[in-house]
Structure 1
């Protein structure tokens, strides 16, 4: 039976995007890597490719590794904190990107933690945990030894466990929805006491403005400082913005918009040991909000 390029694209694009997004933390870069991979595929005789999924995963992974290694300098020069681009679920869209969000719930907290890994560690971790590949297959994809891939995975786990101690990075929609609703209510009523009760004592708020709009350059640490920031910015927002609770990377977050345009996307990570918010990630960089729809 003849294999059609259109069928291959339709079948594998969502999976390839999921892989690239986990690798890069960028919607635009992930889409570019996937498109370049399929463009290169058109130059090949696909009838000769016997394991299409593995072939595409290898191609996308290596493109992502090249991107990560070349982007290191850019991220080191980035103004303020660099955060991954969040994915907001648009359930009415037929875009494969949206299918990835709904079906796989790529935890935003985990994406942030993945930034602690080297490119090779990240590739092994993603291929192993997200796609379920055996070490032998990963070794073939990355042109490394099986033992080397096992060591990379072990190092990745150690780094993630250390960086994410106490964080509930897996999606818990019902729990996060309740806490986000309470957070929005407390913010909109400038209720500092309620905000303190919602946050862990060592809560951290990180904003990403990329030097393109006003944002905190450094993380804001401790519940009291986070509360002071939130109540301060709300006084500037309250008459000019609207808030939508949305599914962001499979968890409940919210989008703040002004004049019909999204201006901030806020995601939360919960504490695994208490019913409080441990991290708030606020995306303000307009370049990273281009793909959002209200």
Structure 2
């Protein structure tokens, strides 16, 4: 069934919101785009005259597509090479969605997206729809085919799971940049002690290479171990330049609302390192180096006003 131009326009007006929901649910920009496109195909095949509330109809279709995707994704991630981390989105990417409230900003932070991997698909859906998009439980219940009481119970359980694992402190862009610059100065100084002073005692570092770029399967744990790894990571070497395809330019940036280090070679983003900040120091480094999860970041970087790099690594 072909859609009238007005019906296409109505869908396109909803696309940014749908993509933001799908990204939070799936942790992948590519999969989010696919889910939204499939939602459009369902809209195209629907009897649109019988759809009373477009936003509710589209959200229900999209959410259930994402739930099916999450169920199959769990099986795929069991065979994923190394650690699985979400796909990072750089500052200004419209797929980050609403950011008016602290809850909305937190729900798309890299730390919380990672924590949400612990949730069941239904917990994740309820958490995202309620926390990030403020859907009432009555509407969430209708979307998921559950009772309103069940939606409330699932939300409280999901929120507790996420809260139990985080101690993130929100920082503004200027403070985040200062923290990144201070970290990079310590990491390139060659002195482990200066790095350790910036970290919490239980700091961790996790990398996702997807089997395409070398990344340790097990996280580095503890300030001393993390500091040694990071000092070695930024130590110059021909093998590192060859692996990256050149000498990366290093920028202090923001990804998913978190302070981040972005490494770029010839306009191609080859790594995004998100820092998780607490009142005691940097508690986590999550490093995305899987090329398949950096394509959108590269496209966004090409049109961003990123200025000059802090330095060239390796």
TM-score, scaled to structure 1 = 0.90
Correspondence 1:18 to 2:25: no
Kindly indicate whether the alpha-carbon contact (under 8 Å) linking 2:207 and 2:286 is maintained by their aligned counterparts in 1. Answer: yes
Q: Which residue of 1 aligns with 2:94?
A: 99
Kindly indicate whether the alpha-carbon contact (under 8 Å) linking 1:75 and 1:82 is maintained by their aligned counterparts in 2. Answer: yes
User: 1: CA distance between counterparts of 2:265 and 2:5?
Assistant: 48
Deviates more, 1:114-123 or 1:258-267: 258-267
Q: Which residue of 1 aligns with 2:258?
A: 251
Kindly indicate whether the alpha-carbon contact (under 8 Å) linking 2:20 and 2:97 is maintained by their aligned counterparts in 1. Answer: no
**Residue 188 (structure 1) shift:** 2.5
Question: What SS does structure 1 have at the residue aligned with 2:295?
Answer: coil
State the number of aligned residues. Answer: 282
Q: Which residue of 2 aligns with 1:6?
A: 8
**Residue 180 (structure 1) shift:** 0.9
Cα deviation code 1:197-248 (max 9, x no counterpart): 1111110101001111110111110111111001112113588221122221
Cα deviation code 1:5-50 (max 9, x no counterpart): 3321331111000100010001111110001101210112323322
TM-score, scaled to structure 2 = 0.84
Q: Which residue of 2 aligns with 1:185?
A: 185
After TM superposition, the structure 1 = structure 2 runs for residues 80-229 of structure 1, keeping only pairs within 5 Å, are 80-89=82-91, 91=92, 98-101=93-96, 103-104=98-99, 105=105, 106-164=108-166, 166-168=167-169, 170=170, 172-229=172-229
Question: What SS does structure 2 have at the residue aligned with 1:201?
Answer: strand
Cα deviation code 1:119-176 (max 9, x no counterpart): 0000111111111111111111101111211221121122112222x333x5643332
Kindly indicate whether the alpha-carbon contact (under 8 Å) linking 2:98 and 2:132 is maintained by their aligned counterparts in 1. Answer: no
Closer, same or farther: CA 39–134 of 1 in aligned 2, 3 Å: same
After TM superposition, the structure 1 = structure 2 runs for residues 36-55 of structure 1, keeping only pairs within 5 Å, are 36-55=38-57
Closer, same or farther: CA 130–103 of 1 in aligned 2, 3 Å: closer
Q: Which residue of 2 aligns with 1:292?
A: 297
Question: What SS does structure 2 have at the residue aligned with 1:291?
Answer: helix
User: 1: CA distance between counterparts of 2:97 and 2:163?
Assistant: 26
Deviates more, 1:61-70 or 1:41-50: 41-50
Q: Which residue of 1 aligns with 2:312?
A: none
Q: Which runs of 5+ in 1 are unaligned?
A: 92-97
User: 1: CA distance between counterparts of 2:94 and 2:176?
Assistant: 21
**Residue 252 (structure 1) shift:** 2.7
Deviates more, 1:52-61 or 1:155-164: 155-164
Instruction: Give runs of ≥4 in structure 1 deviating > 6 Å.
Output: none
User: 2: CA distance between counterparts of 1:247 and 1:219?
Assistant: 23
**Residue 51 (structure 1) shift:** 1.1
Q: Which runs of 5+ in 2 are unaligned?
A: 100-104, 302-314
Kindly indicate whether the alpha-carbon contact (under 8 Å) linking 1:3 and 1:47 is maintained by their aligned counterparts in 2. Answer: no
Cα deviation code 1:79-136 (max 9, x no counterpart): 11110000013x5xxxxxx224375342111111111100000011111111111111
Kindly indicate whether the alpha-carbon contact (under 8 Å) linking 1:245 and 1:252 is maintained by their aligned counterparts in 2. Answer: yes
**Residue 292 (structure 1) shift:** 2.2
